Structure 1
Amino acid sequence: MSSYLSLLKTPGVARVIGAQLTARFPFGMLSLAFLIHLERVYDSYGAAGLVLGAMSIGQAIAGPLTSRLMGRWGIRPVVLVTMTVCTISIVLMALLPLAVYGVMLIGFLAGLSMPPIQPAVRTIYPKIVNSRQLTPLFSLDASAQEIIWVLGPVIATFVAIQVSTVAGILLAAVFLVGGGLWFVSLPEVGRVRIPRSKRAIGAVLKKPEVLLSTIVGFMLVAACAAVEAGVVAAFGHGSAESGWVLAIFAVGSLIGGLALGHAPIGPWALAGRMLIVTVGLALAAFDLGFWWLAVTLLLAGVGIAPAFAVLFGIVSASVKFSDTAEAYGWVGTGQLIGAALGSAVAGFLIDHSGPTAAIIVAAGFAALGTLIPALGRRWHPDLRGRDIGPIPDTEPIRTIQVS
Structure 2
Amino acid sequence: MAGYRDLLRTPGVGRIIAAQLTARFPSGMTSLAILLHIQHITGSYGAAGLVLAAASIGQAVAGPITSRWMGLWGMRQVLTLTTLICAASIIGIAVLEVPLPVFMTLGMIAGLSTPPVQPAVRTIYPKMVNSRQLTPLFSLDASLQEIIWILAPVVVTFVSTQISTVVGLLLIVVILIGGGAWFIASPELGRVRIPRSKRRFGKVLARPAVLLGTVIGFLLVGATAAVEAGVVATFGKGGIEAGVVLAVFSVGSLVGGLVSGGIAVSRWAMARRMGIVTIGLVVTTISLNVWWISGSLLVAGIGVAPVFAAVSAMTTASVKFSDTAEAFGWVNMGQLIGAAAGSAVAGFLIDGMGPGGAYWTAAIFAAVGVLVAVVFRGGFPDLRGRDPSPLPDTTTIPIQTV
Supply the distance in 1 between the matched residues of 2:26 and 2:210 (Cα, whole angstroms): 27
Partner of 1:221: 221
The CA deviation string for residues 94-127 of structure 1, in whole angstroms up to 9 with x for no partner, is: 1000111100001000000000000000000001
Partner of 2:356: 356
Shift of 1:239: 2.4
Corresponding letter in the other structure for 2:366: A
Partner of 1:81: 81
Partner of 1:184: 184
Aligned: 1:154 with 2:154 = yes
Partner of 1:285: 285
Contact map agreement 1:36 1:237 (CA 8 A) in 2 = no
Equivalent position SS for 2:29 = helix
Partner of 2:392: 392
Contact map agreement 2:45 2:348 (CA 8 A) in 1 = yes
Supply the distance in 1 between the matched residues of 2:236 and 2:273 (Cα, whole angstroms): 31
Partner of 2:309: 309
Aligned: 1:246 with 2:246 = yes
Partner of 2:175: 175
Question: Matched residues, percent identical?
Answer: 61
Supply the distance in 2 between the matched residues of 1:371 and 1:327 (Cα, whole angstroms): 23
Partner of 1:297: 297
Q: How does 1:1-400 map to 2 (within 5 A)?
A: 1-400=1-400
Contact map agreement 1:4 1:140 (CA 8 A) in 2 = yes
Shift of 1:400: 2.4
Shift of 1:209: 1.0
Corresponding letter in the other structure for 2:329: G
Segments ≥4 residues shifted beyond 6 Å:
none
Shift of 1:235: 1.5
Supply the distance in 1 between the matched residues of 2:195 and 2:284 (Cα, whole angstroms): 46
Supply the distance in 1 between the matched residues of 2:144 and 2:181 (Cα, whole angstroms): 20
Q: Which moved more, 1:175-184 or 1:237-246?
A: 237-246
TM-score (structure 1 length as normaliser): 0.99
Supply the distance in 1 between the matched residues of 2:117 and 2:235 (Cα, whole angstroms): 33
Q: What residue ranges of structure 2 are gaps of 5+ in the alignment? A: none
Contact map agreement 2:158 2:239 (CA 8 A) in 1 = no
Equivalent position SS for 2:364 = helix
Q: Which moved more, 1:7-16 or 1:228-237?
A: 228-237
Aligned residues: 402
Shift of 1:30: 0.9
Equivalent position SS for 2:384 = coil
Q: What residue ranges of structure 1 are gaps of 5+ in the alignment? A: none
Supply the distance in 2 between the matched residues of 1:154 and 1:240 (Cα, whole angstroms): 7
Supply the distance in 1 between the matched residues of 2:177 and 2:75 (Cα, whole angstroms): 16
Shift of 1:326: 0.2
Supply the distance in 2 between the matched residues of 1:186 and 1:115 (Cα, whole angstroms): 15
Contact map agreement 2:19 2:179 (CA 8 A) in 1 = yes
